[in-house]
Amino acid sequence: MSRTRTALLAALALVAGASGTALAVAPGDAGIAAVPCTVDYKVQNQWDTGFTAAVTITNNSAAKSSWSLKWSYAGNQKVTSGWNAKISQSGTAVTAANESYNGTLGTGGSASFGFQGTYSGTNAVPATFTLDGVTCNVDGGGPTDPGPTDPGTPGTKVDNPYAGAKVYVNPEWSAKAAAEPGGSRISNQPTAVWLDRIAAINGVNGGMGLRAHLDKALEQKGSGELVVQLVIYNLPGRDCAALASNGELGATEIDKYKTQYIDPIAAILADPKYASLRIVNTVEIDSLPNLVTNVSPRATATANCDTMKANGNYIKGVGYALNKLGDAPNVYNYVDAGHHGWLGWDDNFSASVQTIKQAATAEGATLSDVQGFITNTANYSALKEQNFTINDSVNGKSVRESKWVDWNRYTDELSYAQAFRQEAVNQGFASGVGMLIDTSRNGWGGTARPTGPGATTDVDTYVNGGRIDRRIHVGNWCNQAGAGLGERPKASPAAGIDAYVWIKPPGESDGASSAIPNDEGKGFDRMCDPTYTGNPRNNNNMSGALPNAPLAGHWFSAQFQELMKNAYPAL
């Protein structure tokens, strides 16, 4: 019989209090075999303004070579010093990571550490602990679960849906990739299913619809856990600052979006047949960031974005999607958060979180309908700039003053995503909220990849000589020449990051390089034209786009071959 988190915490407290020692639970112990990890947190000494605590973690899952334990305080406790773990704190959130000598944690193995802290008022034991994103002291459930469940059973919400799970391989994309010379090297990688128009729900031109994909996912699932990645992408007046991926719905067609697009998707996702799948929704790429950066009185404003801000239909649409799709207990919503080269500046960063929060509390949605955020979707920003940092300076000039960084606070996606997550927590989102980073096309390998820092002649030479991201300008987004596949999809790759994912299927065009008549609502955006000399959003630089590109979403063989050639890590 499984136990609730409350009962387990009580049992832990009683045993620890009675024996004075930490509690370790072996994987086969009766009654709590399903608990993936246990944490014994014990206040050893306490005085008026401070305390010491001892913590023991026991891993009941697969062996680990490193670990990270997280919790949040309900009061004003502050960790001041620690031992046997690297302990950091931001607001109420605490992270304890292994030292170099105690990272190995076998199945059934334990590790202990301690710390000293300060407090005033009460000094309550934290209610929830997560080890590498997995909730401990509970058999797969969370603080708001309606009752005890076993891991993987329908109705169980996990902290990180990617942890311990396979991810769905879209057979339609896989077949296209495998048909390319050398494509079989990556054709088994998981990519997202894009629901970019109403017709896509049932399948376009004889292709697979949503139910067909979910049925195939059940076949791939087997006896383990499986994540299915969907892109929810059909807002009224979609992509107001660009033309290549304009959608089928006009600026005022919010009711059609709700009743003919979101409602049918929600009904399918709520089918009990699919309750054992973990369904991850990437919600409305580019929409909310446009309301921050591309509206008046900014120089980057467009009339379409001004319209969408004024009518509120981006806010209403995203709120409605989060509310309706989040009703299913096995569905996880990740809201698009742009990328560092879009929202990393001081006047964009916090405002973007505020805008997402506004949408996440509109149309019946609540912050609990948001599992996390995704950055770099269908973009090219480098995961990690290894040859310079935002704190470097050359001849008295900060890296922030370089033309490439241009006063941004962030140089790459990993630092931006981690900071965005913390800002979201600071603004009221759950402390366990996670991040996804789309790494499908941000590898920038090949012969053009720098092997070290640039020369210190001046700050621009230093940055340009060492930067991994080889775009002409960080605002360039369409079919970028020289790009390569990035990190392969993986779960829990870094602190605060739920997964690296391939949401944009490599080989699918960002937009046509010249005007192509079509019935998909997709216009011609000059940013996809290799001869275009730019606009204020890319500081009037060349577009850097590849020639001869088809419509957005259509197969682009030349790009696919270049992505494989420039992959990093290399294929």
Q: Is 516 exposed, middle or buried (0-12, 13-18, 19+ CB in 10 A)?
A: middle
Residue 396 Cα to chain centre, angstroms = 36
Counting beta carbons within 10 angstroms of the beta carbon of residue 396, is it exposed (0 to 12), middle (13 to 18) or buried (19 or more)? exposed
> CA-CA distance, 307 to 493, in Å (whole number)?
39
- Distance, in Å, from the CA atom of 370 to the CA atom of 283, rounded to the nearest integer, reads 10
Q: Specify whether the CB–CB gap between 193 and 170 falls below 8 A.
A: yes
Buried/exposed code over 7-30 (b: 16+ C-beta within 10 A; e: otherwise): ebbebbeeebeeeeebbbbeeeee
Q: Would you tell me the crossing angle of helices 346-359 and 313-325 to the nearest 10 degrees?
A: 60
DSSP state of 10: H
Q: What 3-state class would DSSP assign to 415?
A: helix
DSSP output for 253-264: -HHHIIIIIIHH
Tokens of 269: 């996702």
Neighbours of 390 (CB within 10 A): 16
Q: How far apart are CA 66 and CA 483, in angstroms?
A: 32
Q: Check: CB of residue 107 under 8 Å from CB of residue 37.
A: no
CB 433 within 8 A of CB 332: no
User: Which residue numbers are catalytic?
Assistant: 286, 510
CA distance 60 to 63: 8
Euclidean distance between CA atoms 237 and 253, whole angstroms: 8
> Where are the strands (E) in 36-136, listed by range?
37-46, 50-59, 68-72, 78-83, 86-90, 93-97, 110-118, 129-131, 134-135
User: In this structure, are residues 178 and 216 in contact, taking their beta carbons and an 8 Å threshold?
Assistant: no
Strands in 203-276 per DSSP E: 225-232
